[in-house]
Amino acid sequence: MDPNTPLENSDEQSLIQRAIKAGQSQPPNEPPIEPMSPIQTSSRVSPVPGYNTSPVRPEDPEPQRQPVKPTMPRRPSRPAMPLKADPTPTEEIDQSASVEEQAAQALERLRQKMAVVAEEFAQGKINRAQFHAIYQRYQEQRQITEMLLKRDPQTGAWQSVMRPGHTGFLRDYYQAKIESYAIYHLALQKPIIVTGTVQLPLQQVAPLLTKLRAIVNERGFANLARRKLQDERWVVFVPGLYTVSVIVFSLEPSPAQLQRIEDMQRDFERANSQALEGNHIRPRELVYPHRALFEK
């Protein structure tokens, strides 16, 4: 090899010679390698060279779900009949009976209702005003009916006397309603909150606060106290360990109403015990169970 010949040219020539020799050594009967067909743009490229088909999608391990068929709507069911109120004296009467027998049945039903009112008062569910108003209503119905039957046993005029509707009005009208609700701190003798329209002056409440505080310090508790005001209102004092609730009612409250406000006073001190024990009173940070009485 000529030393003046560049190295790159000699290498290139040797490579060409080797390629020629390799082509001559290939068997003449072997078919030539077919060129790869052009890849279609719509097909996916296979990761294996020489293949242009998309790989086979693996089978889903979960069985094929059947399409859900919509169910036919059911027929609309007939709504349940509302519960009936307590029957009136005329609703339990046997219409096939004679006029005199029907009147006797109505009077017996009326006597039962009068006994129920007496039992409600004994259980503390209604106050005195409610009892007197409702019982008087039943008594008038009974007297008028007996008078009409005495004059004419065959008359049906007593049925108009037995018409319902007045007793429910009397029950609501004579129910004691809360007009004001105040909570005072026993040690500080200051109001924490006052809610309602009727307010008792502090000079009227202060002497009782002093007495209740002395009783609580001596006994550890004080009982509920109530008194009638000059205008038919009633004021109730419900003391606790740290506070006392002063409630003004429009009429005399029933024992059931007194029990409810005693429970509220107890819950008030239980919910705000940390603030009340340390005398760190911030009215806006306290909770007041009695507010539910004034919310409509």
pLDDT in tens, 3-55: 444 444 445 445 445 544 544 444 444 444 344 444 444 445 444 455 454 45
Cα–Cα distance measured from residue 101 to residue 283, given in angstroms and rounded to the nearest whole number: 66
Supply the mean pLDDT for the chain.
76
Return the exposure string of 19-56: e unless at least 16 CB atoms fall within 10 Å of the residue's CB, then b: eeeeeeeeeeeeeeeeeeeeeeeeeeeeeeeeeeeeee
Cα 224 from Cα 245, distance rounded (Å): 10
Model confidence over 205-226: pLDDT tens digits?
889 889 999 999 888 888 999 9
Matching residue, tokens 């205008």: 231
Residue whose pair of structure tokens reads 């069985």 in the numeric block? 63
Q: How far apart are CA 194 and CA 183, in angstroms?
A: 7
Please tell me the pTM assigned to this model. 0.62
Q: Residue 211 carries which DSSP code?
A: H
